[in-house]
Amino acid sequence: SQTIHQWPATLVQPVGSPLSLECTVEGTSNPNLYWYRQAAGRGLQLLFYSVGIGQISSEVPQNLSASRPQDRQFILSSKKLLLSDSGFYLCAWSVVPGTGELFFGEGSRLTVL
Amino acid sequence: GEDVEQSLFLSVREGDSSVINCTYTDSSSTYLYWYKQEPGAGLQLLTYIFSNMDMKQDQRLTVLLNKKDKHLSLRIADTQTGDSAIYFCAETTGGYNKLIFGAGTRLAVHP
C-alpha cells in the first residue's frame, strides 16, 4: 500500500534562517507531488507541484522553492524565512490518470519568530 | 479566476443532519471533492463526485451537485461528535490533478 511521510512535524525557526521540509512517498511510482500551505484560519494554497524528477511548477511568487531530486522525494526550502512563512505545510501525491484524488501527509507546522 | 467559497462555521446538535455548502468557479472541473481535516492532521478524502452526476450517496454522506449554479453540498446524516472537523470543498483545475480548495467549514457537533 502507498504511504507518505513528511518531516519534521513541528519546526520553530527564527526570521532569516533557512528551511528544509522533506516529503517521501512509498508504494507508487512516478506520482505527481504537491506542496500546499494552510495559514491560520485560511484554506489551502497550492505552492508547488511536480510531474517528474526535476520538474517543478510554482503557483505563487514567494520566498520558497521546491525540488524533486528523486522520483518519490519532494523538498520545500527557503534560504531566509520570513514571518509570513509561518503555517501548516502539507505534502500530497496523486496518480495520473485517475480521479484526481490527493493523498496528504500529516503536515509540518512551521512557526517563524 | 479560480475560486472556491464555503461558509466558515457550522454548529449542529448530535443526531441532526449537517449540510455544508460550497460554490466553485471552474465549470470544466471533472471531479469535485470533499475532504475532512481533523485537528493537527492532514486532509483525508471523504468523497468525490463526477461532474456528470447530480447526486452521490455513501452511507451517511450525500453529495449534491448543481452544475448550472456551480453549487456543491455535503449532507451528513445523524451527525456524531466524531464528525467534528474542518471540511474542505475542492475542484480540479488546469490539469495535473491540481486541486483548488475552499477555506474550509469548521463543523462543531454539540450534545
Question: What are the tens digits of pLDDT across the range B38-67?
Answer: 988 889 999 999 988 999 999 999 999 999
pLDDT above 70: residue A41: no
Which residues 6+ apart lie within 8 Å of A76 measured at CB?
Answer: A19, A20, A21, A22, A23, A35, A47, A48, A64, A65, A66, A89, A91
- Quote the CA–CA distance of A67 and A57 in Å, as a whole number: 10
Contact A49 B98 (CB under 8 A): yes
Query: Dihedrals φ, ψ of B81, to 5°?
Result: -60, -30
* pLDDT tens, residue by residue, A91-108: 999 987 777 789 999 999
| Whether B96 and A49 lie within 8 Å, measured CB to CB | yes
Average pLDDT, integer, range A79-88: 94
Find, among A82, A88, A97, the residue nearest to A35 by Cα: A88
Residue B1, pLDDT > 60, answer no
Query: Sorting pLDDT into bands at 50, 70 and 90, what band is B16?
Result: very high
Interface contact flag, A107 B102, Cβ < 8 Å: no
Contacts of A92 in chain B (CB under 8 A): 42-43
Residues 6+ positions from A28 with CB-CB distance below 8 Å: A2, A72, A93, A95
Report the SS3 class of residue B75.
Answer: strand
| Residues B44, A102: C-beta atoms closer than 8 Å | no
Mean pLDDT across the stretch A19-37?
A: 94
- Torsion angle of C-alpha atoms B32, B56, B109, A89, degrees rounded to 10: -20
Shortest Cα–Cα distance, A32 to chain B (Å): 7
B98: which chain A residues are within 8 Å (Cβ-Cβ)?
34, 46, 49, 59
B49 three-class SS: strand
C-alpha cell at A37: 500551505
Contact A101/B at CB under 8 A: yes
Rounded Cα distance, B15 and A97, in Å: 39
